[in-house]
Amino acid sequence: MDWGNIFGNAVGEIISPTTAAYALAAIGLGIHFGYTGLLNFGQAAFLLIGAYAFAIPTLAGAPLIVAVLSAIICSVIFAFILGIPTLRLRADYLAIVTIAAAEVVRYIVTTTGLTDFTGAANGLSGFKGTFAAINPIPEGRYGFGPFTYNEYDWWIRIVGWALVVLASVLVFLLMRSPWGRVVKGIREDEDAVRSLGKNVYSYKMQALVLGGVMGSVAGIIFILPRAVQPANYTTGLTFFIWTIMLLGGAATIFGPIVGSMIFWVVLSLTQGILYGAIESGALSFISTTQAGQIRFILVGVALMLLVIFRPQGIFGNKKELSFSV
Amino acid sequence: MSNISEPAVVATHPLVKGEVGPGCAKTDPIVIADHVTRQFGGLKAVDVDHLEIPRGQITALIGPNGAGKTTMFNLLTGFDKPNTGTWEFDGKSLAGVPAFKVARAGMVRTFQLTKSLGRLSVLQNMLLGATGQKGEGLFSALFKPLWRKQEEENTARADDLLARFKLDAKREDYAASLSGGQRKLLEMARALMSKPELIMLDEPMAGVNPALTQSLLGHIKNLKSDGTSVLFVEHDMHMVMHISDWVIVMAEGRVVAEGPPESVMKDPAVIDAYLGAHHDEDLGDLMEDGPNPVLEAERKAREAHPEVDEGPGYGETTTPPAAERER
Amino acid sequence: MIAGIRLGRGVRLTTMIVAVLALCLGFALGAAATSARATETPAPTPTSTDSGDFTTTYTIGGILRDGDTLVAGAEVTVEGGDFSEVATTDDTGRWSVVVPGKGDYTVTLDPETLPDGVELRDPDKSSATVSAGEWQTNTITRSFPLGADTRQTTGFFEQFLQRLAAGLNFGLLIALAAIGITLIFGTTGLNNFAHGEMVTFGAIVAWVVAVLLGINIFIAMVVALVLGGVFGYLNDWLLWKPLRRKGVKLVQAMIVSIGLAIALRYLYLFNIGGDTKTMNVGLSDAVVLGPVRITTGSLISMLISVVVLVLVGLFLTRTRIGKATRAVSDNPSLAAASGIDVDRIIRIVWVLAGALAALAGVMLALYRQVSWDMGFQVLLLMFAAVTLGGLGSAYGALVGSIVVGLFVELSTLFIPPDLKYAAALVVLILVLLVRPQGILGRKERIG
């Protein structure tokens, strides 16, 4: 078994753009659920919207800034569409409607009727030009050990993690402010907050939009190293983001980041070890595909254990973060 | 309902324009409600033809269980929607106005089951009560200099109120660690942060131990001397007699009697409402109907685990209301 | 949650979870030996740009179909640089060309080779290009839309009746599973996201018994029903009862059910592989009832669904246990105070829900084959049905299910079939806008 390679790959996941994208999506979800108590089970839809609303204009020849704005605006509109009917209802209605809406948008981008725009089940590719064009890093390979990448890969990582830091700072500033106090109050008892003259509906909407925009920007980072594939945006994606958020601690600043790093490093490690064991003949009775599936069985079990035994996550404060309902 | 005999005692009162009786006009009303009805299925929980609440006074809203007092509270404060009816507060119509705007208009309420926010500190709870905060806007929240000064002022006011309510030692603790009575105090203090014109207290004494009751009474009296109008729902007759200036009695959704405390207790309509036909028992004792067993159990459960202010656990739900939050 | 006194329970819960995990692995390893089939994992995998270049085969391919008919024998030419190769579609309409590497290719369909009466929808689009930048994966798909709307070949009214029958069938089998969801929600407040996996469980059991072991499908149905009940019981006994004891909150429990759903779903994938299994049990003969053609399988499944739903209705309204169930749904503490053993009722509800879901799984398998995520695909429709009917109401779930079933099938008269589930979910959202309490939910509540 090539342990060097296995660990190298795993360590590489720490700063991979995918890890950054999941961290950013989890920060957004943290605003929804961790701080405001909104049960958003449709975070995948925000990533999807970010991806398509970025890729489609880019492929149509729009400059980078227009494509990014398009992603942001589309996610804001989507947040409103989700929020208007459901934010007045009980929390579990939001859960069902968000998960339903996420599936609806996935069906829509997958339908063959829209192949010309969305590429249907094939998705989209070839949209990296505008982002690569503003890369200030000269061509070449940089770094050391497992962290050796070419200029484009460094560029995605730098931008991706810069956005993660920016989002974390934003969350930190918001949550120490009176605004954060109001949404934390809503998380616990919205009637109490309403009785104090706060427009609860408006705050919930603001939180939904803010977290949704982060999800949509995460969607852009997520597709920059790969293609847009509608099959990536199933509810499975949402639940992985949930796992990441709960792993680190739902209402914490560093939780989503560390959660995402642990999630991907562990997935990479288990994959490397299982594959290595299969190749070396130590595990002869399962295939590499099945090894990949074992990892997701483990994700499911880990999610259960986490929620039951450490609902506040790694960084969370149990008094503040245990589930209120 | 059984309004056969007219109130025999006082016909006039300084607070009242004209004759004293159910739904009488006040000289200086702060709330005027007309034709407010609320139907739950076949049951008319509230059916109030006309009701005025005097300004600057302590008004008690009493009545047997199921009389519609809390529903009336919910309707007036925008937490529930009536089937019919209009009402105004300080001359402004509040019918159909959402709860948060009612609170901003100066009519702030507390809840029968205390809604202190257990996962915020006592001080944060207090600060949440302040109105017109610049830092509560999404964009200004990001820039502390915009709201630092206001926050300091609010903190000073909060500390002042906490000291008055003897909660200053608990300032930094999570509100979940407070006792039931302290939570009642916190909720009242928090409501005061918004400097309300009218404060509406839903059973402020329920579950509060006798030692705290006295200080709560004192606080309510102080509110009046500060110029705040008070409307409260209460079961404890002795407390009602002790501090209220005016008493409104509801039964089966209607206002059946009102008047100053001394005379209203002798009103046959009130005795009817509470006792039906059994007239010969002492009303004062009976009205002190022991605490509601369900609420009592709930309170005990809370006090047994003071550090967690829990919502319903999985598998211990009450009725799954199809649309509880539907508004 | 108080630590001290709950220590015992914590240990028990840990043991339980370790047991579940061990069981999973046991299953997994056991089954791996029998069916180690290569399937793709549809979950997102972190492939970065600089990995994935190890393999050297690059393929361009696709499936040709005219409406629902697969087109065989058509020729597709792939050209790029010096490379040129012609592929012919096989019986399943598939074609594929292995190309020498990443790069630009032109893919052209020869319209002359299409069967008579089949034409390109847009004659100008007989060729498509694959650009170099598209090679993110080793396989690129190009499709050629064929034919006009073939649905016009039969009259609208016949189509309508056909869809109506299919919708009724689908609605009834959703109802079977959804009643379990609503009973569990009513008695414990849990939105069980692992309910879809109970449906899949029934389908897999029926597939193993009826197809792999070749036993009569009706016996397979009974086996699935019984094992489904056992599965429901185990769910409650191993997981949900200890969690109730532990005082786990509703949202927490809901996320636990999501974790359980993920674990079970991938466990199924691990064991049976990712391909779709056909339920070839001799029930696919068509019966013609006036203008409607329906398979015997669908007819039998509708019949069974109706009978079972009536039985469940009678159980809930006429028997002591059924009445107790409704009492618990209405107010658990009151029910407990009046001497009802709430835990026992919840256990019965889980058994019932598991059995009904498994039965629904068998019907679903007859209706559209067996796959590892079939239950999850209909989970949202079940939630939609329950929400439409008003959370917690059994009759509401029935009505909601029929509405969802009819809507899913009838919508295909007007919109592309691949959007039919989306249509049902959009309706759910719209209904919540105008009538949040659901179709039969009570708007008002005494309080």
- Facing C249 at nearest CB: one of B314, B323, B324: B314
Helix (H, G, I), strand (E, B) or coil at A257: helix
Does one domain contain both C181 and C228?
yes
- Residues 6 or more apart in contact with residue C123 via CB below 8 angstroms: C111
Helix (H, G, I), strand (E, B) or coil at C249: strand
**Cβ–Cβ below 8 Å for A188 and B120:** yes
Taken in order C343, C344, C345, C347, the sign of the CA dihedral is positive
The percentage of chain A sitting over the pLDDT mark of 90, rounded to a whole number, equals 66
Tokens in use for B322? Answer: 């199809």
The percentage of chain B sitting over the pLDDT mark of 70, rounded to a whole number, equals 80
**Cβ–Cβ below 8 Å for B322 and C331:** no
Mean pLDDT on A18-24: 97
* Neighboring chain C residues of B308 at a CB cutoff of 8 Å: 1
Does residue B32 have a pLDDT over 90?
A: yes
**pLDDT digits over A89-148, tens only?**
777 778 888 998 999 999 999 988 888 888 888 889 889 999 999 999 999 999 888 888
Interface size A-B, in CB pairs within 8 Å, comes to: 124
Select the residue from B74, B119, B144 to test the A interface by mutation, using most A Cβ atoms within 10 A: B119
The lowest-confidence range among A46-55, A122-131, C90-99, C246-255 is C90-99
* C-alpha radius of gyration, chain A, whole number: 20
Does residue A36 have a pLDDT over 80?
A: yes
Measured CA distances, B211 to B60, B65, B182, B205 (Å): 21, 26, 11, 11
Q: Distance between CA atoms of A198 and B133, rounded to whole angstroms?
A: 10
- Facing A185 at nearest CB: one of B120, B142, B307: B120
Does one domain contain both C277 and C388?
yes
Q: Distance between CA atoms of B155 and B126, rounded to whole angstroms?
A: 8
What is the pLDDT confidence band of residue B297, given thresholds at 50, 70 and 90? very low
Question: Minimal Cα distance from B308: which residue of A?
Answer: A319
Do the beta carbons of residue B153 and residue B185 sit within 8 Å?
no
Q: How many structural domains compose chain A?
A: 1
Where among C110, C127, C152 does a domain terminate? Answer: C152
Mean pLDDT on B187-211: 88
DSSP result, C386-409: HHHH-TT-HHHHHHHHHHHHHHHH
Do the beta carbons of residue A57 and residue A66 sit within 8 Å?
yes
DSSP result, A108-139: HHH-GGGHHHH-GGG-B----HHHHHT--SPS
Q: Distance between CA atoms of A94 and A85, rounded to whole angstroms?
A: 9
**Cβ–Cβ below 8 Å for A100 and C429:** yes
**Cβ–Cβ below 8 Å for C438 and B322:** yes
Does residue C30 have a pLDDT over 50?
A: no
Q: Distance between CA atoms of C1 and C10, rounded to whole angstroms?
A: 11
Mean pLDDT on C264-268: 94
Does any CB of chain C come closer than 8 Å to the CB of residue B326?
yes
The alpha-carbon gap from C380 to the nearest alpha carbon of chain B, in Å, equals 19
CA-closest candidate to residue C220, choices C274, C301, C289: C301
CA-closest candidate to residue C422, choices A109, A240, A55: A109
Does residue C218 have a pLDDT over 80?
A: yes
Q: What is the CATH number of the domain that holds C73?
A: 2.60.40.10
| pLDDT of res. C41 | 39
- Facing B314 at nearest CB: one of C2, C188, C329: C188
Exposure class string for B289-320: b at 16+ Cβ within 10 A, else e: eebbeeeeeebeebeeebebbbeebbbbbebb
Q: How far is Cα of residue A77 from the mean position of the Cα atoms in its chain?
A: 19
| pLDDT of res. C34 | 40
Does any CB of chain A come closer than 8 Å to the CB of residue B153?
no
**pLDDT digits over C164-184, tens only?**
988 999 999 999 999 999 899
Q: Distance between CA atoms of C176 and C197, rounded to whole angstroms?
A: 14
Does residue B304 have a pLDDT over 90?
A: no
| pLDDT of res. C25 | 46
Classify residue C209 by its DSSP letter: I
Does one domain contain both C220 and C300?
yes
Backbone angles phi, psi at A77, to 5 degrees: -60, -45
- Winning range, highest mean pLDDT, from B269-283, C39-53, C355-369: C355-369
Where among C106, C131, C152 does a domain terminate? Answer: C152
Mean pLDDT on C76-95: 79
The lowest-confidence range among B249-253, B314-318, C332-336 is B314-318
The percentage of chain C sitting over the pLDDT mark of 70, rounded to a whole number, equals 80
Q: What is the CATH number of the domain that holds C386?
A: 1.10.3470
Residue B62's beta-bridge partner residues? B249
Alpha helices, DSSP H only, in B80-236? 99-105, 122-129, 144-164, 180-192, 210-225
Q: Distance between CA atoms of A122 and C441, rounded to whole angstroms?
A: 42
Does any CB of chain A come closer than 8 Å to the CB of residue B151?
yes
Does one domain contain both C181 and C308?
yes
Arch. (CATH architecture) of B1-116+196-213+227-327? 3-Layer(aba) Sandwich (3.40)
* Neighboring chain A residues of B111 at a CB cutoff of 8 Å: 191-192, 195
Do the beta carbons of residue A89 and residue B325 sit within 8 Å?
yes
* Neighboring chain C residues of A85 at a CB cutoff of 8 Å: 429, 432-433
**pLDDT digits over B253-274, tens only?**
899 888 898 888 788 888 777 7
Classify residue A159 by its DSSP letter: H
| pLDDT of res. C247 | 85
* Neighboring chain A residues of C258 at a CB cutoff of 8 Å: 239, 242, 303
- Facing A308 at nearest CB: one of C38, C248, C426: C248
Measured CA distances, B46 to B76, B323, C53, C446 (Å): 11, 20, 74, 12
Does a structural domain hold residue C1?
Answer: no
Does residue B299 have a pLDDT over 50?
A: no
| pLDDT of res. C440 | 61
Helix (H, G, I), strand (E, B) or coil at A74: helix
What is the pLDDT confidence band of residue A232, given thresholds at 50, 70 and 90? very high
Does one domain contain both C222 and C334?
yes
Do the beta carbons of residue B230 and residue B220 sit within 8 Å?
yes
| pLDDT of res. B286 | 45
Does one domain contain both C287 and C348?
yes
Q: What's the number of CA atoms in the CB half-sphere (13 Å) around residue B34?
A: 7
What is the pLDDT confidence band of residue B309, given thresholds at 50, 70 and 90? very low
* Neighboring chain A residues of B308 at a CB cutoff of 8 Å: 322
| pLDDT of res. B325 | 35
Does residue B5 have a pLDDT over 60?
A: no
| pLDDT of res. B314 | 62
Please classify residue B179 by burial: count the beta carbons closer than 10 Å to its beta carbon, then call 0-12 exposed, 13-18 middle and 19+ buried.
Answer: middle
**Cβ–Cβ below 8 Å for A325 and C40:** no
- Facing A179 at nearest CB: one of B141, B190, B325: B141
* Neighboring chain A residues of B153 at a CB cutoff of 8 Å: none
- Residues 6 or more apart in contact with residue C253 via CB below 8 angstroms: B314, B315, C188, C190, C240, C243
Does any CB of chain B come closer than 8 Å to the CB of residue A308?
no
Where among C121, C152, C183 does a domain terminate? Answer: C152
Q: Distance between CA atoms of C7 and C245, rounded to whole angstroms?
A: 12
**Cβ–Cβ below 8 Å for B320 and C186:** yes
- Residues 6 or more apart in contact with residue B283 via CB below 8 angstroms: B237, B265, B270, B271, B274, B275
- Facing C437 at nearest CB: one of B43, B319, B326: B326
Residue A203's beta-bridge partner residues? none
| pLDDT of res. C16 | 54
**Cβ–Cβ below 8 Å for B315 and C393:** no
**Cβ–Cβ below 8 Å for C36 and A96:** no
Measured CA distances, C239 to B15, B314, C178, C215, C354 (Å): 63, 13, 21, 32, 14
Does a structural domain hold residue C193?
Answer: yes
The lowest-confidence range among A83-87, A158-162, A212-216, C308-312 is A83-87
Tokens in use for C282? Answer: 């001799």
The lowest-confidence range among A148-152, B243-247, C38-42, C202-206 is C38-42
Does residue C46 have a pLDDT over 50?
A: no
The lowest-confidence range among A61-70, A283-292, B302-311, C102-111 is B302-311
* Neighboring chain B residues of A205 at a CB cutoff of 8 Å: none
Does residue B321 have a pLDDT over 50?
A: no
The percentage of chain C sitting over the pLDDT mark of 90, rounded to a whole number, equals 29
**pLDDT digits over B215-231, tens only?**
888 888 888 998 899 99
| pLDDT of res. C68 | 65
Q: Could you list the residue range(s) of the whole structural domain that residue A242 is in?
A: 3-321
Mean of all residue pLDDT scores within chain A: 91
Does any CB of chain A come closer than 8 Å to the CB of residue B141?
yes
| pLDDT of res. B320 | 36
pLDDT greater at residue B38 or residue C432 = B38
Tokens in use for A270? Answer: 């288990």
* Neighboring chain B residues of A177 at a CB cutoff of 8 Å: 135-136, 141-142, 144, 147
* Neighboring chain C residues of B37 at a CB cutoff of 8 Å: none
Instruction: List own/partner pairs for A139-145 with CB under 8 A and 24 or more apart.
Output: A145/A8, A145/A11
Q: Could you list the residue range(s) of the whole structural domain that residue C103 is in?
A: 59-152
| pLDDT of res. B144 | 93
| pLDDT of res. B268 | 82
Does residue C365 have a pLDDT over 50?
A: yes
pLDDT greater at residue A308 or residue C53 = A308
Q: What is the CATH number of the domain that holds A163?
A: 1.10.3470
User: What's chain A's length in residues?
Assistant: 325
**pLDDT digits over B118-150, tens only?**
889 999 999 999 989 999 999 999 999 999 999
Does any CB of chain A come closer than 8 Å to the CB of residue B326?
yes
Does one domain contain both C158 and C131?
no
The alpha-carbon gap from C288 to the nearest alpha carbon of chain A, in Å, equals 32
Does any CB of chain B come closer than 8 Å to the CB of residue C243?
yes
Does any CB of chain A come closer than 8 Å to the CB of residue B115?
yes
Question: Minimal Cα distance from A127: which residue of C?
Answer: C133
The alpha-carbon gap from B18 to the nearest alpha carbon of chain A, in Å, equals 35
* Neighboring chain A residues of C46 at a CB cutoff of 8 Å: 13, 16, 18-19, 264, 267-268
Tokens in use for A25? Answer: 């999506």
| pLDDT of res. A152 | 93
Measured CA distances, A213 to A32, A70, B125, C33 (Å): 11, 11, 29, 46
Select the residue from C102, C429, C431, C442 to test the A interface by mutation, using most A Cβ atoms within 10 A: C429
Q: Distance between CA atoms of A46 and C315, rounded to whole angstroms?
A: 44
Question: Minimal Cα distance from A169: which residue of B?
Answer: B142
- Winning range, highest mean pLDDT, from B11-15, B85-89, C18-22, C44-48: B85-89
Q: Distance between CA atoms of B168 and B158, rounded to whole angstroms?
A: 9
Does one domain contain both C181 and C192?
yes
Domains of chain B, residue spans: 1-116+196-213+227-327
Mean of all residue pLDDT scores within chain B: 80
Does residue C441 have a pLDDT over 50?
A: yes
Do the beta carbons of residue C249 and residue C190 sit within 8 Å?
no
Does one domain contain both C249 and C114?
no
Q: How many structural domains compose chain C?
A: 2
Mean pLDDT on C356-366: 93
* Neighboring chain B residues of A192 at a CB cutoff of 8 Å: 111, 115-117
Measured CA distances, B251 to B39, B255, B256, C305 (Å): 15, 7, 6, 50
What is the pLDDT confidence band of residue C18, given thresholds at 50, 70 and 90? low
Do the beta carbons of residue C365 and residue C208 sit within 8 Å?
no
Measured CA distances, C405 to A196, C178, C385, C423 (Å): 45, 12, 9, 11
Exposure class string for B25-56: b at 16+ Cβ within 10 A, else e: ebeebbbbbbebbbebeeeebbbbeebbbbbb
Q: Are strands C75-80 and B246-251 parallel, antiparallel or unpaired?
A: unpaired
Q: What is the largest CA-CA distance in chain B?
A: 67
Q: Assign 3-state DSSP to chain C and report helix, strand, coil percentages, each to 5.
A: 60, 10, 30
pLDDT greater at residue B306 or residue A13 = A13
What is the pLDDT confidence band of residue C251, given thresholds at 50, 70 and 90? confident
CB atoms within 10 A of CB C414: 9
Question: Minimal Cα distance from C347: which residue of B?
Answer: B315
The residue written with tokens 């919930």 in the block is A204
**Cβ–Cβ below 8 Å for A300 and C264:** yes
Does one domain contain both C189 and C131?
no
Does a structural domain hold residue C3?
Answer: no
